[in-house]
């Protein structure tokens, strides 16, 4: 219903006793910085609320968790194998569905480097146990679950794995992850793996022979392919090989800012040409532009408009890639796990920000996207598409 009506106050792991059943950490508050709402007229405020209530709103890429207040405790928290979903803050958002990417690159339960299959399964199982003990978030496995969440004032939660490193050379692990409810997986997370070349590499070899089999198996089981952190050739190879649409769940246009993290026009066009969808990124210091070097809502929406004009409004959505906590600080401390060092902007002339004003977390991002679109005169039909309609179209073609 836009503003969530089914939330009854459950907090992560309420079925356990903190300090007795698990180690407790001081977590970031949901209002770490003052909420910023893009300014609107009274009439526009009414239109925004109407749109939020009547249309399905989806974020295609988030990390909707509370990070530790002291980021020096982050590794210890991750080693404990228990992250806290921000149910209360998500209930205040416009979101009907959220794609949760689980932070597996920093999943260091048994490893110093993350991405181990057993750790990923642990991470997923722990979150599913928590979800099983509450009645607000629905474990989303099919498109009907998103429509149900919207109708009932709940939240459809999509389990995602941001990179395929954990499957190693085992195709059947795709089936296992699907069986555990995973519905989207990235092919690479910046560095190369057995599937293909990551975007931080200097040499681009595209998909491997094994990677081609991975694409085919993901098609067969019904798992959406994400190439957000893949190289240009890997992304294009995957788009052309896949029998169904693929996605870049969180990206921007390299034409607007020269960064390895952003996508070239040829990549964006290849994904759209096969019916895919492109989510606009908002993590700190990514979707900057030459016109807006200070990362904020306007720079993000410049990427949105550029890509929409390039490939068409039917192929664009939003995957802000936010969380609840000091995201910029997390990048600084954990650059190795998050690949920020090797994928940084190739030009260094831009001011650093402590947070992205207007896109600090999933709650704020969901509101300001709608507000900006209304303020800039987009039709309700186009807003419906980019808020969730385009994602629903792709998922209905892929998920089985």
Q: What is the pLDDT of residues 35-90, one digit of tens each?
A: 999 999 999 999 999 999 999 999 999 999 999 999 999 989 988 999 999 999 99
Q: What pLDDT was estimated at residue 101?
A: 94
> What count of other Cβ atoms lies within 10 Å of the Cβ of residue 96?
28
104-147 pLDDT, tens per residue? 778 888 988 889 999 999 999 999 999 999 999 999 999 999 99
Lowest mean pLDDT among 55-64, 309-318, 332-341: 332-341
Q: Backbone phi, then psi, for 310, in 5-degree steps?
A: -75, -45
Q: How confident is the model at residue 1 (pLDDT cuts 50, 70, 90)?
A: very low
- pLDDT attached to residue 4: 81
Cα angle for residues 134, 57, 378 (degrees, 5° grid): 165
DSSP state of 69: S
Compute the average pLDDT of residues 339-363. 79
Tokens 């936010």 correspond to 322
Contact 129, 16 (CB under 8 A): no
pLDDT at 2 over 70: no
- Mean pLDDT of the region 269-295: 97
pLDDT digits (tens, 9 = 90+) for 361-386: 999 999 999 999 999 999 999 999 99
What whole-number percentage of the chain has pLDDT above 90?
Answer: 88
Q: What is the pLDDT of residues 157-216, one digit of tens each?
A: 999 999 999 999 999 999 999 999 999 999 999 999 999 999 999 999 999 999 999 999
Alpha helices in 73-152 (DSSP H): 74-80, 87-90, 117-132, 143-152
Nearest-10 crossing angle of helices 42-54, 362-375: 120
Query: Which residues share a beta bridge with 278?
Result: 248, 316
Whether the pLDDT of residue 335 is over 70: the answer is: no
Q: Judge whether residue 217 has pLDDT over 60.
A: yes
Distance CA 303, CA 268 (A): 12
Question: Strand locations in 55-200, DSSP E?
Answer: 58-62, 65-66, 84-85, 97-100, 137-139, 155-161, 182-186
What is the 8-class DSSP label of residue 288? -
The DSSP code sequence of 37-61 is: -----HHHHHHHHHHHHHS--EEEE
pLDDT of residue 400: 86
| 342 pLDDT higher than 70 | no
- In the chain, what are the domains? 42-398 (3.20.20.140)
**pLDDT for res 104:** 79
The upper half-sphere exposure of residue 118, i.e. CA atoms within 13 Å in the direction of its Cβ, equals 4
pLDDT given for residue 302 in this prediction:
98
| Helix 297-311 vs helix 362-375: crossing angle, to nearest 10 | 60
Q: Which of 174, 234, 171 is nearest to 206 (CA)?
A: 234
Burial 68-82 (b: 16+ CB within 10 A, else e): beebebbbebbbebb
pLDDT at 347: 65
pLDDT band at 344 (very low <50, low <70, confident <90, very high): low
Q: How many CA atoms lie within 13 A of 131 on its CB side?
A: 19
pLDDT at 194: 98
Q: Output the average pLDDT for the chain.
A: 94
Over 90: is that where the pLDDT of 223 sits?
yes
């Amino acid at each position: 219903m836009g503003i969530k009506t089914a939330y009854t106050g459950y907090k992560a792991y309420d079925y356990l006793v903190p300090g007795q059943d698990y180690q407790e950490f001081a977590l970031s508050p949901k209002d770490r910085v003052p909420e910023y709402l893009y300014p609107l007229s009274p009439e526009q405020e009414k239109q925004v609320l109407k749109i939020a209530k009547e249309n399905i709103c989806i974020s295609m890429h988030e990390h909707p968790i509370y990070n530790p207040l002291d980021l020096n405790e982050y590794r210890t928290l991750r080693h404990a194998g228990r992250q806290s979903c921000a149910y209360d803050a998500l209930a205040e958002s416009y979101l009907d569905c959220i794609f949760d990417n689980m932070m597996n690159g920093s999943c260091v339960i048994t490893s110093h480097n993350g991405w181990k299959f057993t750790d990923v399964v642990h991470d997923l199982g722990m979150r599913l146990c928590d979800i099983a003990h509450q009645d607000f978030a629905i474990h989303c496995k099919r498109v009907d679950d998103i429509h149900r969440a919207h109708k009932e004032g709940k939240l459809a939660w999509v389990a995602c794995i941001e990179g395929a490193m954990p499957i190693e050379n085992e195709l059947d692990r795709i089936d296992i992850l699907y069986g555990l409810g995973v519905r989207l997986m990235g092919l690479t997370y910046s560095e190369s793996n057995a599937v293909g070349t990551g975007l931080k590499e200097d040499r681009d070899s595209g998909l491997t022979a094994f990677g081609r089999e991975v694409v085919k198996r993901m098609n067969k089981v019904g798992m959406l392919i994400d190439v957000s952190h893949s190289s240009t050739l890997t992304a294009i190879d995957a788009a052309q090989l896949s029998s169904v649409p693929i996605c870049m769940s969180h990206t921007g246009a390299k034409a607007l800012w020269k960064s390895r993290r952003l996508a070239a026009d040829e990549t964006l066009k290849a994904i759209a040409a096969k019916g895919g969808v492109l989510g606009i990124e908002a993590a700190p210091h990514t979707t900057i532009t030459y016109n807006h070097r200070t990362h904020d809502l306007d720079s993000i929406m410049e990427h949105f408009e550029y890509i929409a004009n390039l490939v068409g409004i039917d192929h664009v959505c939003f995957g802000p890639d936010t969380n609840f906590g000091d995201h910029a600080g997390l990048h600084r401390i954990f650059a190795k796990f998050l690949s920020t060092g090797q994928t940084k902007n190739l030009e260094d002339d831009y001011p650093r920000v402590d947070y992205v004003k207007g896109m600090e977390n999933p709650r704020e991002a969901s509101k300001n996207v709608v507000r900006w679109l209304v303020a800039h005169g987009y039709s309700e039909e186009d807003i419906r598409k980019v808020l969730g309609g385009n994602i629903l179209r792709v998922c209905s073609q892929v998920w089985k």
